[in-house]
Structure 1
Amino acid sequence: MGVVEPGVRLAKGDLDRLVAALKGTPAYEEALKEALQRDMDVGRALEVIAALQRGEVGVARVRGPTPLTLEAERSLREGLEPALPERRELLSYALFKARLLQATASFLCTECGATFELPVVDVRPELSCPGCGSDKLAFDAVPEEELAALAERCRRSGRGCRKLELSAKLFERYRDLAVLARAAGFGFREAARLLAEHSGGREGLLKLLWLKRREKLRARFAAPASPARPEAGGSAR
């Protein structure tokens, strides 16, 4: 699943911000590999450089900009243009999607007790325990050792069992979509409500999660501040 949908064009400034946010992630490495191996003819470029060094190819002066210069000028001009609202929305969604897919989730097999961790982007509907093959899994968007500790507390004292049960039921019903909702920062019950209302596919859910997260952030920042309490012996004005 790509970070930006096919056919979408980004201005240079937007693209630079997206690249900076993704640097070091699998999505970045894959895009770099595609650009170098598929889109750029590196071998032919090296041949031209070698021909220049041998004097087989010369450099000529021309009047006016060359096609390459015009393309560079156009890209620079686009990068200086103010971002349109729809372009900002696109970039916001792309960054949300990239961060979400590069997050990790941990899983606990409710059959054999094994735990394992995966990047969210690699979680598939058919995911099963690598140890026993069972698809009965509890999960959370936490490090593997934290989920293992929760499972141990549940076994020893019964604390935390309800959380494991909720996640296992959610995963049994919604599989990878449940992991996406949890990794986006929604609690298990809230994720269950969102998933019950959602009828589209994976991409549609990602957009829904992005919108809901944005609504929550806006509501949080829009909430009026609590009135200041008067100091002892003073009065509130």
Structure 2
Amino acid sequence: METFHNFLNSLDGMLGGAWWFPYVLLGTGLFFTIYLKFPQVRYFKHAWKVVMGKYDKADAPGDTSHFRALTTALSGTVGTGNIGGVAFAIFLGGPAALFWMWATAFLGMTTKFVEVTLSHKYRDKTPDGTMAGGPMYYMDKRLNMKWLAVAFAIATVISSFGTGNLPQSNGIATSIEATFGFDPLIVGAVLGILLALVILGGITRIAAVTAKIVPLMALIYLVGAVSVIAANLENVGPAF
């Protein structure tokens, strides 16, 4: 594990921890934002109409609806990014880290817009009728960089463990152990079984489950966030 940890640290030093990474991250978002004339602002109202099902068609190609696709995406970000990530960023960089999170989020909306649009444009329909897409597809089919597509696909699989389930299961297990005294191994096993019941059903079942859970999760998150701010209202001004 120590060897693996050192390997991850070396990768972080070359990529996420490198001095140039924030400039590339923000610069890419800024370029697309200016080039596409602020789509995260101009298309905001249209995006809500898409999510609410105004453009849904029964015969449209795809595995799920626009709303279920959104809740599936949100299910992997609310919590790890919005709670754990924000708290860790403030712990490392202080309240000023919030400014850079806001800047990254605003510009990142355009980066995500471009990524998803290209992934949709160059996706494939598999023999069983389901859709397969993602950045690796336009890297291969449009950029003709198959080596980069393979590298991205491998990195996606690895990162799905690092940010897709390890922090969540660890956070739940340690919280339940601290509060109720349950063995983390038992909690992890139960979580694994529940997760298997969902993901073994494929994207259709995953989307159906997240469509029911994520709206409630988002509501609890917002109420909790507002409650914490209200309880610490005197610190909001000094934080700015």
Provide the TM-score with structure 2 as the length reference. 0.25
Higher-helix-fraction structure: 2
Higher RCO (C-alpha 8 Å, min separation 6): 2
Structure number with the higher strand fraction is: 1
TM-score, normalised via structure 1 length: 0.26
Q: For the pair shown, which has the larger CA radius of gyration, 1 or 2?
A: 1
